Amino acid sequence: QMRDMISSPVLSCPTVPLSNGLQIPILGLGTSHDGGYSHDTVVHALSECGIRHIDTAKRYGCEEELAKSIRESGVPRNELWLTSKLWIQDYGYKTAKQACLDSCSRMGVEYLDLYLMHWPDSRQPGRNNREVRAETWRALEELYKEGVCRAIGVSNFLVHHLEQLKEDCTVVPHVNQVEYHPFQQPDQLREYCRQEGIVFEGYCPLAKGQALNNPTVIQLAQKYSRTPAQICIRWSIQNGVVTIPKSTKKERVQENCEVFGFQLEEADMAALGTLHDGRHVSWDPTHIE
């Protein structure tokens, strides 16, 4: 019986409240074009592992595939938390609004639970990044008011990007999704988000596999009779971070979900806390104005 509970985490997957009262599941499944898209794995995650939170983006090119997987899983839309992201080529007021509607239609849904600006650099020649971000965010604010997006947020934004948005706009982002793993712990950003009521969401929790052969992580995996991946994901979740590991393998997704049946001791959380070395395994937004 205990085993069943652990292998179907939906029974016990905690949620994190957004500033608007919605509850986002603390564990989700990331999807992307990197390493391909696995229809069977997403169906397995939804129907066998109890995953209810799926994260994707226009840039990943798998929104249509996701629609098929969701349909096949049979999970009702109102039980799902679906996030997609606006890519920079669609930044700007009109293009952003259209891009969101296009993402909805590709995913076969009438609304998104969360829609994020994917990256702080607009890469629009001759235009100021801050202005483009503000104009784009205004489109997201309208999509939010119209109910096309139940929540809106940003991804890869740093404190200065968030501060500017706060000055330029009216709705504070509900979520900021950034790279977060033992080697990349942006604690000042996390604290800023906490103070501003912005939910902090972390991607690449395994540092694209680099964390799995770290001696501290391996040692803790042995201590708790868990896998190194489970230690990293548990650490992230125990820090209150919404965590979205990505895998195209069924058994890996199953493993990544089994993180609610144990707890890391404070000393072990602290030991993982010392592993920060500032490395990025994804894009680094540090130098973007």
Tens digit of each residue's pLDDT (9 = 90 or more) over 112-121? 999 999 999 9
Q: Are 75 and 53 in contact (CB under 8 A)?
A: no
C-alpha span between 225 and 289 (Å, rounded): 45
C-alpha span between 5 and 60 (Å, rounded): 32
Supply the pLDDT for residue 5.
42
Is 283 inside any structural domain? no
Annotated binding site: 118
Full-model pTM: 0.95
Supply the pLDDT for residue 2.
39
Q: Which of these is catalytic: 60, 91, 115, 180?
A: 60
Is 68 inside any structural domain? yes
Read off the pLDDT of residues 175-225 as tens digits, 9 standing for 90 and up.
999 999 999 999 999 999 999 999 999 999 999 999 999 999 999 999 999
Annotated binding site for substrate: 118
Element (H, E) at 131: helix 129-145
> For residue 11, what pLDDT band results from cuts at 50, 70 and 90?
low
Mean pLDDT to the nearest integer, 242-261: 96
Is 99 inside any structural domain? yes
Is 288 inside any structural domain? no
Q: Name residue, tokens 């590709």.
A: 106
Task: Give the domain CATH number at 92.
Answer: 3.20.20.100
Read off the pLDDT of residues 42-55 as tens digits, 9 standing for 90 and up.
999 999 999 999 99
Read off the pLDDT of residues 266-287 as tens digits, 9 standing for 90 and up.
999 999 999 999 999 999 999 9
C-alpha span between 230 and 220 (Å, rounded): 10
Q: Are 129 and 121 in contact (CB under 8 A)?
A: yes
CA 57 to chain centre: 10
> For residue 36, what pLDDT band results from cuts at 50, 70 and 90?
confident
Flag whether pLDDT at 249 surpasses 90.
Answer: yes
CB burial of 113-124 (b: ≥16 within 10 Å; e: otherwise) equals bbbbbbbbbbee
Q: Give percent above pLDDT 90 in the chain.
A: 92
Mean pLDDT to the nearest integer, 248-276: 96
Domain that holds residue 234: 2-273
Q: Are 229 and 257 in contact (CB under 8 A)?
A: no
Is 83 inside any structural domain? yes
Structural domains counted in the chain: 1
Supply the pLDDT for residue 9.
47
> For residue 61, what pLDDT band results from cuts at 50, 70 and 90?
confident
Q: Name residue, tokens 């090119």.
A: 61
What 3-state DSSP class applies to 109? coil
Nearest CA to 283 out of 81, 124, 59, 61 is that of: 59
Q: What are phi and psi of 179, to 5 degrees?
A: -65, 130
Is 279 inside any structural domain? no
Mean pLDDT to the nearest integer, 158-172: 98
Is 287 inside any structural domain? no
β-bridge pairing 23-25 and 175-179: unpaired
What 3-state DSSP class applies to 127? coil
Supply the pLDDT for residue 15.
97
Read off the pLDDT of residues 78-118 as tens digits, 9 standing for 90 and up.
999 999 999 999 999 999 999 999 999 999 999 999 999 99
Supply the pLDDT for residue 263.
97
Mean pLDDT to the nearest integer, 145-173: 98
Q: Are 236 and 211 in contact (CB under 8 A)?
A: no
Is 199 inside any structural domain? yes
Mean pLDDT of the chain: 94
C-alpha span between 244 and 177 (Å, rounded): 10
Supply the pLDDT for residue 26.
98
Supply the pLDDT for residue 219.
98
- Exposure of 84 by Cβ count < 10 A (0-12 exposed, 13-18 middle, 19+ buried)? buried
Beta bridge partners of 53: 81
- 60 classed as catalytic: yes
- Exposure of 154 by Cβ count < 10 A (0-12 exposed, 13-18 middle, 19+ buried)? buried
Please report the sign of the dihedral spanned by the C-alpha atoms of residue 179, residue 39, residue 248, residue 233: positive
Flag whether pLDDT at 241 surpasses 90.
Answer: yes
Q: Are 72 and 42 in contact (CB under 8 A)?
A: no
